[in-house]
Amino acid sequence: MRWTLKPQPEKEKVEKLAKELQVNKTIAQILCQRNIDTFEAAKNYFRPNLDEIHDPFLMKDMDLAVARIEKAIANDENILIFGDYDVDGTTAVSLVASYLKTIHTNIATYIPDRYAEGYGISFLGIDFAHDNDFSLIIALDCGIKAIDKVTYAKEKNIDFIICDHHKPGDEIPKAIAVLNAKREDCNYPFDELCGCGVGFKLIQALGVSRNQSIEYFVPYLDLVATAIAADIVPMNGENRILAYFGLQVINTQPRNGIKAIIHQAKKKELTITDVVFTIAPRINAAGRIKHGNYAVELLTEMDLEAAIEFAAAIEIFNADRKNLDKKITDQALIQIIDNNEEDKFTSVVFQEDWHKGVIGIVASRLIEKYYRPTLVFTKSGDKLAASARSVKGFDVYNALHECEEFIEQFGGHKYAAGLTLLPENYENFKNKFEEVVAKTIDTKLLTPEIAIDAEIDLLEITPKFFRIIQQMAPFGPMNMKPTFKTSCVRDNGYGKRVGKEQTHLKLNVFQGDNKKTFNSIGFGLGDKMAFVQNDFDIVYALDENEWNGHKSIQLLLKDLK
C-alpha cells in the first residue's frame, strides 16, 4: 500500500474552527480538509436538514416532464416506468412507480432482461409498450445515449421522459424531457445524483402542485439511500442529506421489501456500509441471476408476508451469485497466470460461458489481486460483452474511448463501464487497451493508495473523539470515514492470526509507556503477523466492537509497516 498524508489545512483556520466548535484540533483539521471550515458549514454537515434539498424545477426540462405526466394523468394514458436491472435502476423504478400509483391508476413497470436485451432502453421494451397501449415511457438510470430508441418510439407515437445521471454524449435524445444534471446546459446546483436520486427529484416536482412538502416524500428515501450507497456516488451535498434521512427510514420504518431483506440478513442498526454489503447485493442478485423484475416486485410489495417470501427467494439467488463469482474469479486468475499476463498494465480475460450477471463483481475481485484496470468478457448473443473496472485515479471510460474503433457500444463512468464488441475484434481491442493504459497511466496508481487524514497518538482516541467521528456519517466517496496513522505501537503479546483460513490479524496494541491497549482487527492482513514482533506503524479507521452486550472502540487496521 502507498501511504499518503492528505494536504494539511492552514493552521489558523484549524485553530479557529476548533475553538468555535469546542472540538480538538484533529477533528477541526479533518473538517477543514473536507471544506467544512466555518461554524455554519459544520452545523449543516453535522445536522443535515431537509430545507437544504434543492428546488427540483432548477433542473433543466423538469417543467416539461411534469407537464407531460400531468397531461397523461388527465387523459387517462398508460404510463410505463422503465429502468435498468441494477440496484440504482430497480430502486428508481420502484420509487417512481410507487409514487405515481398514488395519483394515477394506469402504471406499469418494465426492467429489461440482462441477457436478451442488455443494458438500457431496448427496442423490445418499446415494442412491449406499443403492443400494450402505453403512450408515455419514463426511463430511469438509463437513456442518455438512446437517440435511435427514442426516435423509434416516436414513430410508434410513444413519448419519452429520460431521467439519467450518466455522462451525455455529443447529442441529447429528442425526448419530451431529459433530466440529467450532467447536461452542459443544465444549471442544477448538484450534478452527482444517482438515477434513483433523479427519479426522486421528479416525484418531488410532481408533489409541488399537490401541496406535498419535502416531508411527505421522506418515506421514499429508504430507496434513494440504498441507490446512493450501491452506486458509489459522492456522499456530499444533496446526496448526503438524502442518504442521512434515508438511513433513518431504513432503521425505523423501511418499506416491506427492505424490512424483509433486513429480517433475512438478521441485521439490527444499519450503516451505509451495511446497505452496501447487505441490502444492495440482494437487490442486485435478482437482476444478475434471475430477472430485475423480482427486485421491483419485492420493493413495491405491500404485504409483509409476501415480501418475506420474495426475500427468501432472492437469498437463494444471492447464494448462487456468490458461488458463481468465486468459481469465475478462480478461472480468470488461472487464465492470467497461464497466459503470462501477471506483469501487464491491464487484466483482460474472456470465457464464453461466464455468467454475464457476475462479470462486474469478478472484475472487482481481480483488482484485489492485480491492482490495475480490468475487463471481464463473456459471450452475449453473437457479440462479446464486458464489465470494466478501474483503479483510483485512472479514467477507464476515457481509455475505452481511445479504443472505440474496436467497440460496438460502451457507456459508464470514470471507474466502471460496460461495453460490447464483435468476437473478431477481441484480440485487437485487448492489445489496444493494454497499449492505451500503458501509455497514459501514472505507474504509482498501480499500487493501492491509503489516504491518511491525520497522524495521531492512541491517547487521543477518547469516547468523545469517537462519538464525533461517528457523527460524520454517512460515509462514502468525498466523505470517507477518517483514516489515521499512529507510529511506533506494539502488540501486547497476544496477537494472532484468526479466521477460517487464518487470513485476518487480531492484535491488542499500545503506544509508548501508556499501557492502555486497543483491540485491533486487520481483515486480510494475516500474512503481516511477522511484523508485529517489534515496534510498527499502523493505518486504521475507528470502529465499534460489541461483545456480550459490551461496546468498545476498536481499530480497523488497513495496513501496517
CA distance 509 to 523: 16
- Compute the radius of gyration of the chain from its Cα atoms: 25
246 and 376 both lie in a single domain: no
Mean pLDDT of 359-372: 94
Q: Say what the pLDDT of residue 52 is.
A: 94
- Domains in the chain, number: 3
Strand partners, 383: 380
210 and 277 both lie in a single domain: yes
Place of cell 460483452: 385
Phi-psi region of 175 (alpha: psi -120 to 50; beta: other; left: phi over 0): beta
Q: Where does the pLDDT of residue 530 fall: very low under 50, low under 70, confident under 90, or very high at 90 and above?
A: confident
> Is the Cα dihedral 60, 63, 69, 71 positive or negative?
negative
In a domain, 318, yes or no: no
254 and 136 both lie in a single domain: yes
pLDDT tens digit sequence for 55-80? 999 999 999 999 999 999 999 999 99
Cβ atoms of 111 and 89 closer than 8 Å: yes
CA distance 304 to 342: 50
Q: Say what the pLDDT of residue 116 is.
A: 81
Longest dimension (CA), the chain: 79
**DSSP state, residue 558:** E
Reported in sequence order, the residue ranges of 323-476 that DSSP labels E, i.e. its strands, are 347-350, 374-380, 383-389, 409-412, 416-421, 449-452, 454-455
In a domain, 350, yes or no: yes
Q: Say what the pLDDT of residue 549 is.
A: 80
Helix locations, 441-536, DSSP H: 463-470
Within its chain, how far is the Cα of 338 from the centroid?
33
- Residue 501: CB atoms within 10 A of its CB come to 8
440 and 541 both lie in a single domain: no
Q: Which residues are within 8 A (CB) of 89 and not within 5 positions of it... i.e. 6 or more apart?
A: 83, 111, 140, 141, 142, 195, 292
- CATH number for the domain including 419? 3.10.310.30
Q: Say what the pLDDT of residue 474 is.
A: 95
Q: Say what the pLDDT of residue 255 is.
A: 96
In a domain, 323, yes or no: no
pLDDT tens digit sequence for 120-174? 899 999 999 999 999 999 999 999 999 999 999 999 999 999 999 998 989 999 9
CA distance 398 to 415: 10
CA distance 273 to 235: 12
Q: Give the DSSP letter string of 313-336.
A: HHHHHHHHHHHHHHHHHHHHHHHH
CA distance 134 to 137: 7
> Is the Cα dihedral 72, 73, 77, 83 positive or negative?
positive
Q: Which residues are within 8 A (CB) of 438 and not within 5 positions of it... i.e. 6 or more apart?
A: 345, 346
Q: Say what the pLDDT of residue 319 is.
A: 86
413 and 522 both lie in a single domain: no
Q: Say what the pLDDT of residue 350 is.
A: 97
Cell of 548: 456480550
Mean pLDDT of 266-291: 85
Please say which residue of 396, 424, 446 terminates a domain.
Answer: 446
In a domain, 109, yes or no: yes
Q: Say what the pLDDT of residue 114 is.
A: 78
Nearest to 112 by CA among 102, 104, 103, 121: 121
- CATH number for the domain including 91? 3.90.1640.30
218 and 106 both lie in a single domain: yes
pLDDT tens digit sequence for 379-435? 988 999 999 999 999 999 999 999 999 999 888 778 888 999 999 999 999 999 999
- CATH number for the domain including 460? 2.40.50.460
**DSSP state, residue 276:** I
Q: Where does the pLDDT of residue 531 fall: very low under 50, low under 70, confident under 90, or very high at 90 and above?
A: confident
CA distance 295 to 7: 43
Please say which residue of 265, 297, 313 terminates a domain.
Answer: 313
Q: Where does the pLDDT of residue 321 fall: very low under 50, low under 70, confident under 90, or very high at 90 and above?
A: confident
Cβ atoms of 158 and 132 closer than 8 Å: no
Question: Regarding beta strands 416-421 and 383-389, do their DSSP bridges make them parallel or antiparallel, or are they unpaired?
Answer: antiparallel
In a domain, 27, yes or no: no
Cβ atoms of 122 and 137 closer than 8 Å: no
Stretch among 114-123, 231-240, 271-280, 494-503 having the lowest mean pLDDT: 114-123
Angle at 239 between CA 300 and CA 453, to 5 degrees: 135
Q: Say what the pLDDT of residue 268 is.
A: 80
304 and 408 both lie in a single domain: no
Q: What spatial distance separates the first Cα and last Cα of the chain, rounded to whole Å?
A: 10
Place of cell 456468490: 322
- Whether 286 shows a pLDDT value over 80: the answer reads no
72 and 215 both lie in a single domain: yes
Nearest to 260 by CA among 303, 322, 320, 215: 303
Cell of 131: 403492443
Letter for the amino acid at 228? I
Q: Which residues are within 8 A (CB) of 504 and not within 5 positions of it... i.e. 6 or more apart?
A: 497, 498, 521, 522, 523, 524, 525, 526
Question: Regarding beta strands 484-491 and 454-455, do their DSSP bridges make them parallel or antiparallel, or are they unpaired?
Answer: parallel
In a domain, 142, yes or no: yes
Mean pLDDT of 211-229: 97
Please say which residue of 426, 446, 466 terminates a domain.
Answer: 446
pLDDT tens digit sequence for 500-529? 889 999 999 999 888 789 999 999 999 999
231 and 165 both lie in a single domain: yes
Q: Say what the pLDDT of residue 357 is.
A: 82
- Whether 285 shows a pLDDT value over 90: the answer reads no
Q: Which domain holds residue 90?
A: 56-313
Q: Say what the pLDDT of residue 288 is.
A: 72
**DSSP state, residue 534:** S
Three-class SS state of 444: helix
180 and 126 both lie in a single domain: yes
pLDDT tens digit sequence for 460-483? 999 999 999 999 999 999 999 999
Place of cell 405526466: 69
Cell of 173: 435524445
Q: Say what the pLDDT of residue 118 is.
A: 78
Q: Say what the pLDDT of residue 263 is.
A: 87
Q: Residue 431: enclosing H or E segment and its boundaries? A: helix 426-440
CA distance 559 to 556: 9
Cβ atoms of 223 and 196 closer than 8 Å: yes
513 to 140, 177, 459, 493, 516: CA distances (angstroms): 59, 66, 11, 15, 9
Angle at 145 between CA 349 and CA 92, to 5 degrees: 85
Cβ atoms of 459 and 514 closer than 8 Å: yes
In a domain, 123, yes or no: yes
Length of the chain: 561
415 and 282 both lie in a single domain: no
In a domain, 326, yes or no: no
Q: Say what the pLDDT of residue 429 is.
A: 97
Q: Give the DSSP letter string of 153-192.
A: HHHTT-EEEEE--SPP-SS----SEEE-TTSTT---S---
Q: Give the DSSP letter string of 107-166.
A: EEEE---TTTT-SSS-HHHHHHHHHTTEEEEEEES--TT-HHHHHHHHHTT-EEEEE--S
275 and 380 both lie in a single domain: no
